[in-house]
Amino acid sequence: MEKVTIAGKCCESGDLIQEDAMIQEAAPGDTLAVFSTGAYNYSMSSNYNRIPKPPIVMVKAGSSRVIVKRETYDDLIKNDV
């Protein structure tokens, strides 16, 4: 276990999800699931700083499936003129 600060990706000083969290040792490419996190929750998400929305994965009874695809940068700019 290691003590870490989990921060968001919005380049804001207050974009902290959890300070001093104890987690299993993580490596680049690992996935961290965070539940019910306000603006990081799909229903309250935005494209602030032109950050694409993540996918939504449903997990039930030991299995998982993507129910909303990851948004791409091309998705963000497709309506720009």
Active site residue 11: yes
> What is the C-alpha end-to-end distance of the chain, expressed in Å?
49
Picking from 69, 68, 77, the residue whose alpha carbon sits closest to that of residue 50 is: 77
Active-site annotation holder among 11, 34, 39, 57: 11
CA–CA distance from 29 to each of 9, 48, 56 (Å)?
15, 23, 17
Q: What is the C-alpha separation between 47 and 26, in angstroms, rounded?
A: 27
Active-site residue list: 11
